[in-house]
Amino acid sequence: MYKLEIDVFYNKRGQFMLKDINNRIREIKNEVAKKQVLEKKLNELKTDLYKSESDLSDLEYKLKKELNDVEKLKKLSLSSIVSTIMNNKEMKIEKEEKEYITAKIEYDKCNSKVILLKKNISDMEERLNYLKTCEIEYSKLLREKIDLINTYGDENDKKKILDMEKYIDEYLMEIKELEESISVGNCLMGEIKETKKLLESAKTWSNLDLFGGDLISSLAKHSKVDEAQRHFSIISNLLERFNKELEDVRISSLNFSTTSRTLDIFFDNIFSDISVNSQINKSYDDVCNLERRVNRIIGVLKENKTRISDVISAKREEYDEFIDTI
């Protein structure tokens, strides 16, 4: 009887110690999963940056051939380019001028991407810095746990616990992938909303210009479209990153063309204010459509995260119940 009481006490003590270490492991596991996902994303971003910087160098070389003062080129806005063309005595766009504007847009888009990638890399490295010791802490706790299982359990218990650990780990990685996708999606939505505001303003000025506006309304319209183009570049780059995130969580990607849209607006404007008004309206409708699609996908991502969180909670409950039986 006395020996039985000792065994019961011994097992209860083992259960308490296992539960305590499990709670600590549970907290650190989230950090380990996040670190692994972020490290993978960081490598992808660095690879993308290397390629983008190479592309930017090629584009800059191409522009230098067309314009001697490259610093002037970098400061030149699309509106001022178009104004120069509009004042041409022949009032038409030559093939070379079209190629120049196309190259300028591509350069700006690529430059915007490089800036965004550098910021994302810096942010990710900062986040990883806070997680640099989590894997060491996790390994230490895991060794303690295995020692406890060896002391209080048997090989079957050990195998079952490790299987459940692996099951939970896989779903934790999915959760972190989904969280990254949602985060990028939210950044994309912020840019889309800002672009919508700019296009709404451009529509207002374009309507005023169409019905007898003056130089001020024309310049204001071009200024808003210029700013919208800058945001189109950011949207394009964020969309590219969002699509990569969606691939990781097995969701279909989105498409959005920026260069052709802006070129249509400017080239048509040279010939007809009615055309540019129509193109601004079309761009606004396209952005609204993209907003709905991105919003829907973010909703799906959040639903998937909730579903997987429920699966993890259920498995952890099963895990805790099993510990009580050891």
Residue 126 falls inside a structural domain:
yes
Q: What is the mean pLDDT of residues 71-83?
A: 53
User: What pLDDT score does 52 carry?
Assistant: 93
Say how far residue 26 (Cα) sits from the centre of its chain: 27
> How many folded domains does the chain comprise?
1
- Tell me which long-range contacts 279-283 makes (C-beta under 8 A, separation of at least 24): 280/199, 280/202, 280/203, 280/206, 280/225, 281/203, 283/199, 283/228
Most confident of 70-74, 262-266, 294-298: 294-298
Residue 11 falls inside a structural domain:
no
Residue with the bigger pLDDT between 173 and 89: it is 173
Stated pTM of the model? 0.69
Kindly report, residue by residue over 261-276, the tens digit of the pLDDT. Answer: 443 444 444 444 556 6
Which domain, by its residues, includes 36? 16-325
pLDDT surpasses 50 at 92: no
Residue with the bigger pLDDT between 97 and 35: it is 35
Residue 60 falls inside a structural domain:
yes
Residue 2 falls inside a structural domain:
no
Residue 208 falls inside a structural domain:
yes
Residue 7 falls inside a structural domain:
no
Q: How far apart (Å, rounded) are the C-alpha atoms in residues 62 and 230?
A: 21
Kindly report, residue by residue over 224-268, the tens digit of the pLDDT. Answer: 777 777 778 888 888 888 988 888 887 776 665 544 444 344 444
Q: How far apart (Å, rounded) are the C-alpha atoms in residues 278 and 220?
A: 17
- Tokens coding 87: 């004042």
Please, what is the end-to-end C-alpha distance for the chain in angstroms?
20
Residue 5 falls inside a structural domain:
no
pLDDT surpasses 90 at 129: yes
Q: How far apart (Å, rounded) are the C-alpha atoms in residues 294 and 284?
A: 15
Q: What is the mean pLDDT of residues 178-191?
A: 93
Residue 6 falls inside a structural domain:
no
Please compute, for residue 135, the number of CA atoms within 13 A of its CA located in the half-sphere on the CB side. 8
- Tokens coding 65: 């051939």
Residue with the bigger pLDDT between 123 and 86: it is 123
